[in-house]
């Protein structure tokens, strides 16, 4: 089963990689300003933040749940950190630690409510998303915190050639996540719970702790994305996060994540985010109508899942035949699964 | 046809009746509270605005409810509402079509967009969440590209003034209220008395059982999404009438709120169980609380927090009720 998933994902990833490379080649040859050091720096910084948002969604998709509050968590972490630095006079390092703790805490709220109420994570995080957003707006009245410490804002602009310092954070976290899901027991347990929760329970896995862990991780990643974005913007904007919902799902879904859980396509998510950021960058450089981005991201999601489905159909054809013969057709959940 | 009888039996469950009355009582409680505490809550003007806005919210909730009924979601409700608003605005202002032609065309456009969702879901067998997430981007993107995000404001006066009229000789009732009630009534009869409605619930309760009982599942999925598109279009047109302009931002913030009224009203995300009047009452509750807190001087910035807490409390109590009644496992 896991072998099959890995096989089908790597096919998807290779296709996606080819599309990414093609996109880069097209942009390099048609748009001279694309290959400038500064543009590549902006592009990489954009990817660094968006990838964390996408990973924040991916870790809950891995256990077969959703987190509709990623954006609201990002917004709340942004303004609390902004308040700590600008009003509270808290130095940068402790402010960042507190911001990360807040991100983890919001994730813990989601996780414990999901476990305690046993409500669908979609509805639950929809509700907590409103709560976090309301707290953000109620505390700030919509006014940004402008006076952030210079060193912090400087970090958001710092680069070595085309490589943004911000991206180091994302790089480390992404590699850590890859190791986590590939080799570490808690990561494997998350995939097991996402693949088949009942089986995981019966095998004696600590399902409650695993669900909690995934939500806390999601909150941490969303919080980290918020911190990086705040450093980049140089001010703590209460509106941070309001546009995160679509990219948070687009990255993992284009990258091959299944809404039903059990997958954590980190490389695929990275490639998906790169593709979205390339399109965004290309449209801006070409001075194109910026509204194309929504259309193209939508078309990309659709294209990616349809291609993935066609691939999977081939892989699954044999199994489907066997199932038909034994008289059990796929259940609704499987029939409705993305791939 | 076991699935169908089981589903229709659910609708006469005494617990569900109680939970519906419970929501009514909660509504009455808040109305009494705000009438006593909030100055001007019962004024004609306030009730008129409250009911007018709430009517639109309820229709948006119903657009989501009809796909929840079959166990699907429609993340494109807002996108369809916005596209229909702009399409109709363009038909009226640029093409110069009369209202009698432009409004039905707008509705048909919404139905078509919904049918497109349904067909894609059926053909690809991909989760409705992903398909409608994608089409939402495609619809909104295309609309923004074509309109360049300009608004259409030169609309016929009869459309613009319509929502401000008073009906039944009552100063607090906008024509939007009877429109919303008519839509709700039609849906109530759809689920209660028609084969199509019961087949939708059967598909939502257990897709495979429905298919094996001879329900043409693909057709039902397409019809439900078409209906959802049509209802989103109604809400889009109502919003155009309310704003007096077809603006590209219409529908932007419908996505998350569209789930609130049906879910507070007891509609299950897993499908098979809907409550039309629950959705109406859920919408009224949210509208009432928002309006009342505003009148009480609670900063509008905090409203989302209350909104989320109410949603959380409502779904949790609903679940506890179901567990107590044994219709859901703990």
Closest residue by Cα to residue A236 from A107, A101, A88, A108: A88
Confidence of residue A190 (pLDDT cuts 50, 70, 90): very high
Least confident of A69-83, A158-172, A207-221, A315-329: A315-329
Residue B243: its H or E element: helix B217-243
* Higher-confidence position of A200 and A8: A200
Residue B67 has pLDDT above 90, yes or no: yes
For residue B115, what are its two tokens? Answer: 């049918």
Q: Do A134 and B302 touch (CB under 8 A)?
A: yes
Query: Which residues of chain B form beta strands (DSSP E)?
Result: none
Confidence of residue A332 (pLDDT cuts 50, 70, 90): very low
Q: How far apart, in Å, are the Cα atoms of A41 and each of A26, A160, A279, A281, A287?
A: 18, 9, 15, 11, 19
What is the number of structural domains in chain B? 1
Average pLDDT of the residues in A34-50: 93
Please name the residues in contact with B313: beta carbons below 8 A apart, sequence gap of 6 or more. none
* φ/ψ of residue A71, rounded to 5: -65, -45
Domain assignment of residue B174, yes or no: yes
Least confident of A205-214, A316-325, B20-29, B267-276: A316-325
Residue A337 has pLDDT above 50, yes or no: no
Q: How far apart, in Å, are the Cα atoms of A44 and each of A57, A133, B206?
A: 20, 28, 46
- For B189, other C-beta atoms within 10 Å of its C-beta total 12
**Is the CB of B311 inside 8 Å of chain A's CB atoms?**
yes
DSSP designation for B134:
H
Least confident of A127-131, A164-168, A330-334, B290-294: A330-334
Cα A331 from Cα A14, distance rounded (Å): 30
Domain assignment of residue B102, yes or no: yes
With contacts defined as CB-CB under 8 Å, which chain B residues touch A280? Answer: none
Which range of residues forms the domain containing residue B213? 2-324
Cα B220 from Cα B204, distance rounded (Å): 10
Domain assignment of residue B329, yes or no: no
Q: Which three-class secondary structure state does DSSP give residue B214?
A: coil
Closest residue in chain B to residue A120, using alpha carbons only: B269
Q: How far apart, in Å, are the Cα atoms of A215 and each of A61, A262, B210?
A: 10, 15, 35
Domain assignment of residue B89, yes or no: yes
Torsion, Cα of A73, A78, A81, A86 (10° steps): -150
How many degrees, rounded to 5, is the angle at CA A102 between CA A97 and CA A106?
Answer: 150
- The DSSP annotation for A68-126 comes to TTHHHHHHHHHHHHHHHHHTS---HHHHHHHHHHHHHHHHHHHHHHHHHH---HHHHHH
* Higher-confidence position of A194 and B257: A194
Cα A216 from Cα A211, distance rounded (Å): 9
* Higher-confidence position of A256 and A335: A256
Domain assignment of residue B308, yes or no: yes
234-273 in chain B: CB under 8 A from chain A: 255-256, 259-260, 263, 269-270
**Is the CB of A129 inside 8 Å of chain B's CB atoms?**
yes
pLDDT at res. B18: 61
- For B199, other C-beta atoms within 10 Å of its C-beta total 25
Residue B256 has pLDDT above 60, yes or no: yes
Average pLDDT of the residues in A236-251: 91
Cα B72 from Cα B69, distance rounded (Å): 7
The β-bridge partners of A236 are A145
**Is the CB of A126 inside 8 Å of chain B's CB atoms?**
yes
Closest residue by Cα to residue A190 from A62, A56, A9, A54: A62
Cα B130 from Cα A260, distance rounded (Å): 12
For residue B181, what are its two tokens? Answer: 């009630």
Distance from CA of A10 to the nearest CA of B (A): 20
**Is the CB of A130 inside 8 Å of chain B's CB atoms?**
yes
Asked whether the beta carbons of A213 and A186 are under 8 A apart, the reply is yes
With contacts defined as CB-CB under 8 Å, which chain A residues touch B304? Answer: 130-131, 133-134, 137
Domain assignment of residue B330, yes or no: no
Closest residue by Cα to residue A223 from A85, A74, A46, A52: A74
pLDDT at res. B270: 82
- The DSSP annotation for B7-21 comes to HHHHTT-HHHHHHHH
Least confident of A32-36, B84-88, B305-309: B305-309
* φ/ψ of residue B18, rounded to 5: -65, -45
Cα B166 from Cα B2, distance rounded (Å): 47
pLDDT at res. B2: 40
Query: Which residues of chain A form beta strands (DSSP E)?
Result: 159-160, 163-164
Confidence of residue A317 (pLDDT cuts 50, 70, 90): low
pLDDT at res. A256: 87
Domain assignment of residue B194, yes or no: yes
pLDDT at res. B4: 45
Distance from CA of B302 to the nearest CA of A (A): 5
Cα B295 from Cα B34, distance rounded (Å): 9
With contacts defined as CB-CB under 8 Å, which chain A residues touch B270? Answer: 120
Q: How far apart, in Å, are the Cα atoms of B301 and each of A94, A133, A140, B313?
A: 28, 9, 9, 20
Domain assignment of residue B67, yes or no: yes
Residue A330 has pLDDT above 60, yes or no: no
Residue B100 has pLDDT above 80, yes or no: yes
Asked whether the beta carbons of A57 and A218 are under 8 A apart, the reply is yes
With contacts defined as CB-CB under 8 Å, which chain A residues touch B303? Answer: 134
Confidence of residue B324 (pLDDT cuts 50, 70, 90): confident
Q: How many CA atoms lie within 13 A of B122 on its CB side?
A: 18
DSSP designation for A242:
T
Average pLDDT of the residues in A319-328: 59
Closest residue by Cα to residue A191 from A113, A249, A266: A266
Express each pLDDT in B128-144 by its tens digit.
999 999 999 999 999 99
pLDDT at res. B84: 97
Residue A206 has pLDDT above 60, yes or no: yes
**Is the CB of B125 inside 8 Å of chain A's CB atoms?**
yes
Closest residue in chain B to residue A289, using alpha carbons only: B145
Express each pLDDT in A258-278 by its tens digit.
888 999 999 999 999 999 999
267-306 in chain A: CB under 8 A from chain B: 289, 291-302, 305-306
Confidence of residue B5 (pLDDT cuts 50, 70, 90): very low
In whole angstroms, what separates CA B10 from the centre of its chain?
Answer: 22
Asked whether the beta carbons of B257 and B235 are under 8 A apart, the reply is no
Residue A338 has pLDDT above 90, yes or no: no
* φ/ψ of residue B123, rounded to 5: -70, -45
Cα B34 from Cα B24, distance rounded (Å): 15
In whole angstroms, what separates CA A110 from the centre of its chain?
Answer: 17
Residue A9 has pLDDT above 60, yes or no: no
Cα B280 from Cα B294, distance rounded (Å): 21
How many degrees, rounded to 5, is the angle at CA B70 between CA B65 and CA B74?
Answer: 55
Asked whether the beta carbons of A100 and A224 are under 8 A apart, the reply is yes
Instruction: Report the DSSP pairing between strands A163-164 and A159-160.
Output: antiparallel
What is the average pLDDT value for chain A, to the nearest integer? 87
pLDDT at res. B330: 52
| Complete domains list, chain A, with CATH | 2-335 (1.10.3470)
With contacts defined as CB-CB under 8 Å, which chain B residues touch A299? Answer: 134, 137-138
What is the average pLDDT value for chain B, to the nearest integer? 87
Confidence of residue A325 (pLDDT cuts 50, 70, 90): low
Q: Which three-class secondary structure state does DSSP give residue A236?
A: strand
pLDDT at res. B230: 97
* φ/ψ of residue B156, rounded to 5: -55, 140
Express each pLDDT in B218-251 by its tens digit.
999 999 999 999 999 999 999 999 998 999 999 9
Query: What CATH number did the domain enclosing B253 receive?
Result: 1.10.3470
Average pLDDT of the residues in A215-237: 95
Q: Which three-class secondary structure state does DSSP give residue B165?
A: coil
Q: How far apart, in Å, are the Cα atoms of A304 and each of A255, A274, A316?
A: 8, 14, 18
Q: Do B130 and A119 touch (CB under 8 A)?
A: no
């Amino acid at each position: 089963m896991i072998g099959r998933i890995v096989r089908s994902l790597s096919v998807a990833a290779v296709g996606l990689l080819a599309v990414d490379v093609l996109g880069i080649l097209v942009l390099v040859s048609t748009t001279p300003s694309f290959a400038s050091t500064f543009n590549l720096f902006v592009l990489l910084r954009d990817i660094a933040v968006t990838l964390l948002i996408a990973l924040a969604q991916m870790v809950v998709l891995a256990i077969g749940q959703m987190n509709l509050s990623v954006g609201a968590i990002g917004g709340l972490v942004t303004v609390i950190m902004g308040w700590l630095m600008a009003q509270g006079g808290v130095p940068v390092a402790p402010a960042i630690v507190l911001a990360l703790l807040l991100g983890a805490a919001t994730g813990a709220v989601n996780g414990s409510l999901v476990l305690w109420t046993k409500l669908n994570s979609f509805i639950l995080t929809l509700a907590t998303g409103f709560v976090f957003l309301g707290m953000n707006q109620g505390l700030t009245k919509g006014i940004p915190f402008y006076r952030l410490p210079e060193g912090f804002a400087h970090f958001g602009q710092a680069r070595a050639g085309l490589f943004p310092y911000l991206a180091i954070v994302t790089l480390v976290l992404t590699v850590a996540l890859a190791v986590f899901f590939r080799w570490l027991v808690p990561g494997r347990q998350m995939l097991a719970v996402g693949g088949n929760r009942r089986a995981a329970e019966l095998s004696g896995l600590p399902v409650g702790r695993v669900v909690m862990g995934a939500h806390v991780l999601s909150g941490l990643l969303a919080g980290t994305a918020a911190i990086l974005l705040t450093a980049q913007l140089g001010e703590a904007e209460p509106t941070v996060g309001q546009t995160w919902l679509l990219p948070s799902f687009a990255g993992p879904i284009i990258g091959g994540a299944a809404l039903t859980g059990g997958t954590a396509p980190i490389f695929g998510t990275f490639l998906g985010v790169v593709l979205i950021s390339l399109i965004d960058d290309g449209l801006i450089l070409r001075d194109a109508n910026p509204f194309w981005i929504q259309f193209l991201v939508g078309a990309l999601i659709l294209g990616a899942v349809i291609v993935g489905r066609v691939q999977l159909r081939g892989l699954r054809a044999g199994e489907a035949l066997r199932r038909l013969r034994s008289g059990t057709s796929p259940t609704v959940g499987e029939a409705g699964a993305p791939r | 046809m076991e699935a169908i009888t089981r589903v229709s039996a659910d609708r006469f469950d005494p617990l569900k009746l109680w939970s519906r009355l419970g929501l009514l009582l909660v509504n009455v409680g808040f109305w009494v509270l705000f009438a006593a505490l909030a100055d001007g809550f019962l004024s004609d003007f306030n009730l008129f605005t409250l009911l007018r806005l709430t009517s639109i919210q309820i229709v948006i909730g119903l657009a989501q409810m009809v796909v929840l009924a079959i166990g699907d979601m429609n993340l494109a409700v807002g996108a369809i509402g916005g596209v229909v608003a702009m399409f109709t605005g363009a038909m009226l202002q640029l093409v110069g079509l009369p209202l009698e032609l432009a409004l039905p065309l707008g509705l048909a456009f919404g139905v078509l967009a919904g049918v497109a969702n349904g067909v894609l879901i059926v053909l690809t067998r991909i989760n409705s969440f992903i398909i409608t997430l994608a089409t939402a981007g495609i619809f909104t993107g295309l609309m923004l590209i074509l309109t360049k995000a300009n608004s259409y404001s030169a609309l016929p006066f009869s459309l613009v003034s319509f929502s401000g009229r008073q009906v039944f000789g009552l100063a607090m009732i906008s024509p939007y209220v009877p429109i919303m009630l008519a839509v709700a009534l039609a849906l109530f009869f759809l689920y209660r008395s028609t084969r199509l409605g019961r087949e939708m619930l059967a598909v939502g309760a257990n897709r495979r059982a429905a298919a094996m009982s001879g329900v043409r599942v693909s057709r039902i999925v397409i019809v439900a999404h078409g209906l959802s598109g049509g209802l989103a279009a109604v809400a889009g047109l109502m919003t155009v009438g309310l704003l007096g302009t077809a603006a590209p931002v219409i529908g932007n913030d419908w996505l998350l709120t569209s789930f609130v009224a049906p879910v507070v009203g007891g509609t299950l995300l897993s499908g098979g169980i809907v409550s039309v009047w629950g959705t109406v009452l859920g919408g009224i509750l949210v509208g009432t609380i928002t309006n009342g807190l505003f009148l009480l001087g609670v900063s509008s910035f905090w409203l989302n927090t209350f909104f989320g807490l109410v949603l959380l409390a409502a779904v949790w109590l609903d679940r506890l009720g179901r567990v107590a009644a044994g219709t859901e496992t703990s």
